[in-house]
Amino acid sequence: MNAETLRLLLAVTLIAMYLLAVLTLRRLPLTFSRYMLWGLFALLVPALGPFLVIAANRHEGLSHRSSRIVRR
């Protein structure tokens, strides 16, 4: 593998991680401003941003899911 291939793999991985963070944020009951702030954080902090966004909002997603289950 040469340097160009490794750079391409790194770019694809970073884009995939960002998309995963955005898709995770879409499931949460956030206001538009909080959604944009978390999205910018995930974008501006390369490599760790998406992981931190998902980890920081995990408790909100769990409480949202459990409330959905209780309603049924």
- What is the structure's pLDDT at 31? 87
| Residue-wise pLDDT tens digits, 20-61 | 888 888 888 888 998 888 888 888 887 788 888 888 877 665
- What is the structure's pLDDT at 5? 93
- What is the structure's pLDDT at 72? 45
The pLDDT-based confidence of 12 (bands split at 50, 70, 90) is very high
Q: How far apart are the first and last CA of the chain?
A: 53
Q: Which residue has the tokens 């998309």?
A: 19
- What is the structure's pLDDT at 29? 84
- What is the structure's pLDDT at 69? 53
